[in-house]
Structure 1
Amino acid sequence: MVVDRHPDRLKLVEEIGAIPIDDSKVDPVEAVNEMTMGLGADNGCECVGYQAHDVEGNEHPNMTLNRLVQSVRFTGTIGVVGVYIPQDPGASDELAKQGEVVFDYGQFWFRGQTMGSGQAPVKKYNRRLRDMIAGGKANPSWIVSHELSLDEAPDAYEHFDNRDDGWTKVILHPSGANA
């Protein structure tokens, strides 16, 4: 199950065989719990970070974390790969400005969940993943929406940051030539 509200990304979710949940149309906690007979997902992954926001566009840095606590089963695991920074002067509230979020620790503790977080250990996996791609065992290119020259990076970043339709992942080619 993948929660999102952008039609282009929800379409990709379906294409890889996952279940899309459009949180602009349904409560994602209720949807996950309904699909799991009230048990919750075995595991959940927070991939948004401090920029999580509601359907109206209001920033809620803790929204995804707290929704995961409610939709992951008792003793389940939550991974946090979304970016949370120590300080965000432009944040929506005073806590977030200090890199803090209101987290439902009581419910997290009661459910006996575990959480792992931090930046991906790229050096631990990069050679193995490269070999899987080269050997045809993994094909991550399905997520790439654009291949552009390095000169086009500012425009591409703006589209990606705005979550414009069809901008999922961008590959930049320093030489300007598309692969």
Structure 2
Amino acid sequence: MSIYDFKHGVRIPAGSCSTYSNTPKAELISASGGLDVFNYDGPIDVSCVCQLPVLEKAIIRQFVMVGNVEKGEIYAEIGGVRWNAPRQHLSYAAIKMLPSTPYEIPLMKQKKVVLNLPISGNNSLTTDRIQCYFIQARFYSDSAVTIEQALSLFYFEVYWD
């Protein structure tokens, strides 16, 4: 589906997300709105979280992640936390970018992962005021990654009706 098929949309720069590392010596660079993660000395396990700025009763139709992975993976999901169940979130939409993900724009080393969600049913998501919605991403590599091979997350897109 084209982004113009939806009533509303938002682009969220990855560099605006809160980040935390579970890996010693992992390095994070935020530039031009994007987020790059690398570690010359070993594995990577870094996460970022940002609020999902979507109105109540929005029917989420598409979740998009744009970035680049040459080594390791970036996993992202839309989640929701109920007001009365802190630290326990529900996962609504999950996507993953791998080295095998094809380039959308090869010259720019830009990859794009798109997940279309149904309007209704088990895999649909309609926002409500009971939950606080967020996007959470995890940068992971089981081996060292140079700055030239950095796990790069440029931005997320979310479209809704």
TM over 0.5: no
How high is the TM-score relative to the length of structure 2?
Answer: 0.24
How high is the TM-score relative to the length of structure 1?
Answer: 0.23
Structure whose residues are more often strand by fraction: 2
Structure whose residues are more often helix by fraction: 1
Rg bigger for which structure? 1
Relative contact order (C-alpha < 8 Å, sep 6+): which is higher? 2
